[in-house]
């Protein structure tokens, strides 16, 4: 169980646990002013819950392909203050249809071949590209995103070029970029990205988690302070 200031995440039935990547994306992505938000591959429901805390008006749909994870995400949502505004769907995001497009789409996507090994079926689905390929994710986002919407995602640094090539193919351009450094002075291993249809001046918005092991940066603490109990 992971206790946040305003909600609780139970995760014993989820292959993908609460981690730095998801928490940073949930705090970094711009959700202000959005009326409809989509979380693809919600896992524990973390991104959906963080979005609900940050935006008091938005209706949020959270999609998860793994049945056990979807059930647990639903339990986490029901126990939260925002159960009336978040809907969890146990389904393949590629099959999702919506009566209206989404203002924001968020995704902490599967890791990709070569990133890590998975030892069980649920972890394989959650962490690898067996179920949702990068180009399929982009196609799904393109189909569901509003004309003036934004797509926020975090990916391994060595997959940034592939993602940008896929988004360029459907007319989505990077408008905000944030290399995520786990440790100050070390190369970044993940990158936060936001895409929009009509482009614009690129905003550079990096995040550094620690000055040294166990010593968080003021930037990271300020970013996560609304959510984390120890900040």
| Distances, alpha carbon 129 to alpha carbons 77, 80, 113, 133, 210, in Å | 26, 30, 7, 5, 29
Q: Where are the domains of the chain?
A: 8-224
- What's this model's pTM, rounded to 2 decimal places? 0.91
- What lies within 8 Å, CB to CB, of 196 at 6+ separation is 148, 149, 150, 151, 172, 173, 175
The band of 121, judged by pLDDT with boundaries at 50, 70 and 90, is very low
Note whether 207 and 223 are within 8 A (CB): yes
The band of 120, judged by pLDDT with boundaries at 50, 70 and 90, is very low
Q: Give the CATH H-level superfamily of domain 8-224.
A: Vaccinia Virus protein VP39 (3.40.50.150)
Flag whether pLDDT at 167 surpasses 80: yes
pLDDT-wise least confident of 74-78, 140-144, 196-200, 223-227: 196-200
Residue 204: phi and psi, rounded to 5, are -100, 120
Instruction: Provide the pLDDT for residue 150.
Output: 97
Percent of the chain at pLDDT above 90?
84
The band of 101, judged by pLDDT with boundaries at 50, 70 and 90, is very high
Note whether 47 and 26 are within 8 A (CB): yes
Flag whether pLDDT at 210 surpasses 50: yes
């Amino acid at each position: 169980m992971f206790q946040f200031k305003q909600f609780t995440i139970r995760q014993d039935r989820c292959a993908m646990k609460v981690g730095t990547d998801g928490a940073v994306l949930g705090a970094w992505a711009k959700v202000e002013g959005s009326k409809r938000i989509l979380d693809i591959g919600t896992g524990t429901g973390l991104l959906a819950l963080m979005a609900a805390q940050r935006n008091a008006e938005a209706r949020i749909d959270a999609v998860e392909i793994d049945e056990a994870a979807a059930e647990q995400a639903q339990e986490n949502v029901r126990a939260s203050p925002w159960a009336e505004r978040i809907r969890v769907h146990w389904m393949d995001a590629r099959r999702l249809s919506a009566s209206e497009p989404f203002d924001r789409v968020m995704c902490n996507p599967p890791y990709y071949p070569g990133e890590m090994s998975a030892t069980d079926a649920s972890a394989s689905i959650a962490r690898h590209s067996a179920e949702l390929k990068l180009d399929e994710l982009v196609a799904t986002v393109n189909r569901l995103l509003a004309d003036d919407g934004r797509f926020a995602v975090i990916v391994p640094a060595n997959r940034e070029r592939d993602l940008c090539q896929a988004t360029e193919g459907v007319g989505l351009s990077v408008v905000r970029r944030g290399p995520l450094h786990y440790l100050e002075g070390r190369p970044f291993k993940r990158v936060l990205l936001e895409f929009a249809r009509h482009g614009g001046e690129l905003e550079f918005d990096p995040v550094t988690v620690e000055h040294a092991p166990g010593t968080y940066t003021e930037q990271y603490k300020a970013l996560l302070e609304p959510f984390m109990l120890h900040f």
